[in-house]
Amino acid sequence: MSRGSLTRSAAYASIATALFLVGLKLWATWRTDSTAMLGSLADTALDLVASIATLVGVWVAAQPADKNHRFGHGKAEALAAIFQVMLITLSAGGIALRAITRLIDGGETAAAEEGIAVSMIAIIATFALLAWQRHVIRKTSSLAIKNDHLHYQSDLLLNLAVIAALVLDQFMGFSAADPLFGLGIAAWLAWGAWRAGGEAIDHLMDHEWPEERREEFLAVLARHPDIRGVHDLRTRTSGADDFVQFHMAVDPHLNIVEVHDLMDEVEARISRDFPGVEVLIHPDPKGLVNEEGVAAEELLPDRPS
């Protein structure tokens, strides 16, 4: 399957699972009057909206580059992720407000058996979805699917929290358990939104690759005997696409044809070690000093002996 087909299949699976769980939890919330169950319902309802946004995001991101979007549409995934983060944050705030009100005013839950049964069904369905999402993430590294995966990972904890709250409230007489678990769910959602938002913003702001990956890239260049140095290395990621540009120091006595052939060799080597990366190389004669007074060859790691 292509990357687009895999990401869409994961989005469709998320939507189907969320629709099923929203119906179940809506009934369970009505039966139990549990703040924790309400929090789980709200999270699943937002998962449904977020999964629809994910489907739109991965569909747009899968479109090929065109004359108005020369670098492709990969950032659509990050935009979908930002939308998801906004929904999760609103959900966390609403759940926390209800939990605090419940702590102050009091209240009781009911129908623990139904609530626990619904939560168990939700756990089984979520496990199945997570397994498929993990497969898709391994194949595609999709940011939107990663964020969707985070939502449903939190669902496992939310459903376990609902079970614990109902048991403590109705079978052990600890009436504050339900709103306290509701507050815990709200805090978990807010923390997840913070982490997911950071990665999405990095993509939108063209954050550099992690230092380890940059070093690996430079090590690939260092293995080529005709590259005398590298400077102004710039990297970024947009959806499934990676972009790299750099200045490469070469023997100043090479003619333009020889430099062109060398650049083709370097691009081929990069493609083998970093498949799918789009590369832009600017050749410089060895010994050229950049505007900051740094010689190009100073930024290339030591060559292996």
Reduce the secondary structure of 53-77 to three states and give it as a string: HHHHHHHHHCCCCECCECCCCCHHH
Looking at residue 299, what is its pLDDT? 57
Q: What does the pLDDT read at residue 33?
A: 74
Task: Tell me how far apart the alpha carbons of residues 165 and 250 are, in angstroms, rounded to a whole number.
Answer: 67
| pLDDT for 100 | 84
pLDDT of residue 305: 43
Q: Would you state the pLDDT for residue 244?
A: 92
Torsion of CA 156, 158, 161, 162, to 10 degrees: -110
**Domain-wise residue ranges, the chain:** 3-204, 211-299
Predicted pLDDT at 281: 92
Q: Angle at the Cα of 262 (from 259 to 267), degrees rounded to 5?
A: 125
Q: Which residue has the tokens 């199945």?
A: 128
Task: Supply the pLDDT for residue 198.
Answer: 80
CB 17 within 8 A of CB 125: yes
Mark 263-294 as b/e (b = at least 16 C-beta within 10 Å).
beebeeebeeeeeebbbebebbebeeeeeeee
The CATH homologous superfamily of the domain defined by 211-299: Cation efflux protein, cytoplasmic domain (3.30.70.1350)
Q: What is the 3-class SS of 133-200, one letter each residue?
A: HHHHHHHHCCHHHHHHHHHHHHHHHHHHHHHHHHHHHHHCCCCCHHHHHHHHHHHHHHHHHHHHHHHH
Q: Which CATH superfamily is domain 3-204 in?
A: Cation efflux protein transmembrane domain (1.20.1510.10)
Q: How far apart are CA 220 and CA 223, in angstroms?
A: 6
Widest pairwise Cα distance in the chain: 86
pLDDT at 290: 56
Collapsing DSSP to helix, strand or coil, 249 comes out as strand
Full pLDDT tens readout for the chain, 305 residues:
677 788 888 888 888 988 898 888 888 888 777 766 776 777 778 778 777 877 787 778 777 778 887 777 777 877 877 887 887 788 778 778 877 877 776 655 556 677 788 888 888 998 999 999 999 888 887 767 777 787 677 677 777 777 877 787 777 777 677 778 778 877 877 887 787 788 778 778 878 888 888 888 988 888 888 888 888 899 988 766 789 999 888 898 899 999 999 999 999 999 888 888 889 999 988 876 655 555 555 456 555 54
